[in-house]
Amino acid sequence: MGCMMSFSVDLESAKRFVSEEELKQFKVKAEEALKSLESKNGLGSDFLGWHDYPLSYDKEEFERIKKAALTIQRTSEVLVVIGIGGSYLGAKAAIDALSPYFENDGVEVIFAGNSISSSYLTQLKDYLWDKDFSVNVISKSGTTTEPAIAFRFILDILKKKYMKEELKEHIFLTTDKEKGALREIGLKNGYEMFTVPQDMGGRYSVFSAVGLLPIASKGYDIDKLLLGAKDAYKAFLGNNNSYAMEYAIYRNALLSKNFDIEILESYEPCLQFVSEWWKQLFGESEGKEGKGIYPASCIFTTDLHSMGQYVQEGRRNLFETVINVKVPKQDLDIPFDKDNTDGLNYIASKSIDYVNKTAMEATSKAHFDGGVPQIRINIEEIDEYNLGYLFYFFMKSCAISGYVLGVNPFNQPGVEAYKVNMFKMLGKPGYEK
């Protein structure tokens, strides 16, 4: 399977903002972090299932995922993926990145249960009513409120549309293999079930059935996705000088110089949800105990016309990490116009991607001159392989970075606070006091 890969991380700009001495200190910490991570004796080490998953994944379940994806493609115009947080962001990121902007070939994948918007659910019900559709409910705990509410409504429509036996070809549950309400529903009704590994938090689960079933159902190559992850796993394993280490070292070094907001930027709009996935990964892994780098995101050049002013001249606590896609999916040349009323002939015959890349270089220089350090991540192209590599790079780097910061990058105790208040206010049994 030939895959184009020329992954690299460019730190030239960031280097100017931290001294060699400072970098050395963080390198030592990162080496300790890598050791703890790989010998599984650091904080949260019972949640390291993701680390060697690109090799150790359940091969039998992997084949079932492919089969279920074919069933969905055969029976359905639409797949509704119900899940929130780590239970949907990876799949959404990959599908958006890989899909064409306009045509919608194959199964349409719609996400639900990631908000409690009454308008969204009402409109979704109406949209689905006259369509053949399937549902993949994804919840590790099997009890999360947002997806549970959405599933009630979707199940109700499915039951009205299909006979009991037919239903089994339309309902797929991805959850814990031992516990939770979703698992009980599956067992009681004989729906096909897939596993969210117990030793894997949601934000680290994109390579499990959580990400793979929706991605395969949309028709994308999950073998290639896992191959990218596997190659990244091998490149970073036991390697004190890997790109994953460098990214973790520079993030922490920049934080020590009060750069406490990181903006993930890309010049390709289809990567917007890669940024959303990344925000959860780093925000939930590092934002605890009063620590962390606040993860933000921009799509350029779009947001240069809204956030550009702040990045250039606002508070000087920002650094930027740019995902540079070397080869676009398509490119086209700017045509010559003999009247030249719009004054664009100076770039006639140049390609749009050349102009986009020039905008990237011009922005980097302007932001550097304005005091914004930059880390640049270069990927060859947007395909399954490169995405798999990129996702794994971020996961490994995030784990190292969290350890360097001195937190447990695998728990999320703060997520419970709003739930407890909401359950009290809604009168959920057990939350009266």
Residue 251: CB partners within 8 Å, gap ≥ 6?
262, 293, 375, 397, 401
Instruction: Single out the residue of 92, 203, 279, 288 in contact with ligand PA5 (rule: CB under 6 A).
Output: 203
For position 49 contacting ligand PA5 by CB under 6 A, the verdict is: no
**What minimum distance in Å lies between the beta carbon of 202 and ligand PA5?**
2
Our finding on whether 141 is near ligand PA5 (CB under 6 A) is yes
The catalytic position among 305, 338, 416, 433 is 305
Among 38, 268, 284, 286, binds ligand PA5 (CB under 6 A): 284
Question: Are 82 and 138 a contacting pair, CB within 8 Å?
Answer: yes
Residues ≥6 apart with Cβ < 8 Å to 79: 72, 107, 108, 109, 110, 133, 134, 135, 136, 214, 217, 218
- 85-114 residues in contact with ligand PA5 (CB under 6 A) are 85-87
Determine whether 305 is an active site residue: yes
Three-class DSSP category at 191 = coil
CA distance 318 to 332: 34
Q: Which of 51, 140, 230, 376 binds ligand PA5 (CB under 6 A)?
A: 140
Q: Which residues contact 380 (CB under 8 A, 6 or more apart)?
A: 4, 5, 6, 7, 325, 326, 327, 386
Compute the least distance from the CB of residue 364 to ligand PA5, in Å. 32
Query: Least Å distance between CB 326 and ligand PA5?
Result: 31
Q: Binding string, 144-173, against ligand PA5, x = CB under 6 A?
A: x--x--------------------------
Interface size with ligand PA5, residues (CB under 6 A): 15
Q: How far apart are CA 409 and CA 33, in angstroms?
A: 11
- Identity of the residue, 276 or 284, whose beta carbon is nearer to ligand PA5 in the bound complex: 284
**Catalytic-role residue among 146, 262, 276, 284:** 284
CA dihedral 351, 354, 356, 358 (to 10 degrees): -140
Rounded CA-CA distance 275/265 in Å is: 8
**Does 139 engage in binding with ligand PA5 (CB under 6 A)?**
yes
Amino acid at 91: A
Mark whether 284 is an active-site residue.
yes
Active site residues: 284, 305, 419
Q: Which residues bind ligand PA5 (CB under 6 A)?
A: 84-87, 139-141, 144, 147, 201-203, 284, 412, 415
